Structure 1
């Protein structure tokens, strides 16, 4: 699934890298081929295109075919850059022709509490740990919002989303205004149950990463999206003290 905010920029960066790493004849009489650009220019541009590679596939290095010729050290990157460029250009058409043109979601478009907590682990392919880090971030931000460090995770959300009036040391989060209506009670109960499910069924199992196989990227994205939704509810809620 291709999720790039500015495909034109990505293609421009890939084109520059492809031009720099193109193999051209040597001009010093030694024969053979070398990369068109200087090693310094290629290295600088590689820092950008490798970010594009990892954005699309955290395991992109597994696709590289290393060259035994030191004068053609970037040959594998060059081939991968061409593949990535072609995929980006044709993504919309491919998804349409294969019947896969459903709406897409990008991890970077999720709520900042979820994505910023998960970003570094996500980009290195540690999806299960990334979701766990996002859960910790959302727990911490909720504690910050309530100024309450005495509870965490499930107990924190059970207390914060209670429909009971706040008391000393027990501030409440109000997802919708507390007007005493059935809608208010339903929202509080629903978000509380959702939070309990996120921590019981996602965060707790994920914390035991040694006993579970790594998530696929899609599975990780689904779990991250669940915490993103919880983060939006918490971020948009008012605090009643």
Structure 2
């Protein structure tokens, strides 16, 4: 007797499949950040719970193999920027919203994460955002309750003053020019993905400076 079925069978133990799926999902998140919403699930749910991941993996495999070729043929072989390679504070804050296509909210969430991690590093909750960064990157000596972040030793040089003035000014621009409009103005259209990526990159630069800075108390 021959039995025909539309079901797809799985090969291997369920526990092994679940463990492998975790790794696959991390790869998919990097190669196809929106695979959870872009790869159809309606038919997959009825056939096999792993069908969506299988189709996404096939797409990712093609993307990895053909991306360089496509960019070369189109004359666009410039370096590519990936949100997943940005500072962990930025991507962990933005990730879930980014994957669902909420790019403006993702940038706002990343900004909040960078602000919170900076507060954690300096042990302050009484000041935030632009005012926080102006204070921690101040060229003045630390005071009680007001530690400083040093990107390089204070040798009295113009470079020391320039670097810390630039960091404070850059942070003010990120929060005043990016974070505030994104979160305070209603009715704004969704950000194009490439513009949102540029904004994430700005906060990633700031996050790396804070993370690498030496804390002086």
For structure 1, the residue ranges without an aligned partner over 5 or more in a row are: 1-25
Choose from 70, 91, 96 the match for 2:67: 91
Distance in 1 between residues matched to 2:22 and 2:140, nearest whole Å: 54
The CA deviation at 1:36 is 4.2
Q: Alpha-carbon deviations, 1:143-186, whole Å to 9, x = none?
A: 11111211100111111111122222222111111111000000
Does the alignment pair 1:154 with 2:98? no
Does the alignment pair 1:172 with 2:148? yes
The CA deviation at 1:141 is 1.2
Match of 1:190 in 2: 166
Q: Larger RCO: Structure 1 or Structure 2 (Cα < 8 Å, ≥ 6 residues apart)?
A: 2
User: After superposition, where does 1:101-112 map in structure 2 within 5 Å?
Assistant: 101-112=77-88
The CA deviation at 1:206 is 1.2
Aligned pair count reads 211
Match of 1:14 in 2: none
C-alpha RMSD of the superposition: 3.2
Does the alignment pair 1:120 with 2:92? no
Does the alignment pair 1:37 with 2:12? no
Relative to structure 2, which stretch is displaced further, 48-57 or 125-134?
48-57
Distance in 2 between residues matched to 1:72 and 1:177, nearest whole Å: 59
Distance in 1 between residues matched to 2:49 and 2:89, nearest whole Å: 40
The CA deviation at 1:208 is 3.0
Larger gyration radius, structure 1 or structure 2 = 1
What TM-score comes out, normalization by structure 2 length? 0.80
Match of 2:2 in 1: 27
What TM-score comes out, normalization by structure 1 length? 0.72
Change in CA separation of 1:144 and 1:51 when aligned onto 2, cut-off 3 Å: closer
The CA deviation at 1:64 is 4.0
Relative to structure 2, which stretch is displaced further, 187-196 or 215-224?
215-224
Is the contact between residue 129 and residue 209 of structure 1 (CA under 8 Å) also seen in structure 2?
no
The CA deviation at 1:37 is 2.3
Is the contact between residue 53 and residue 84 of structure 1 (CA under 8 Å) also seen in structure 2?
yes
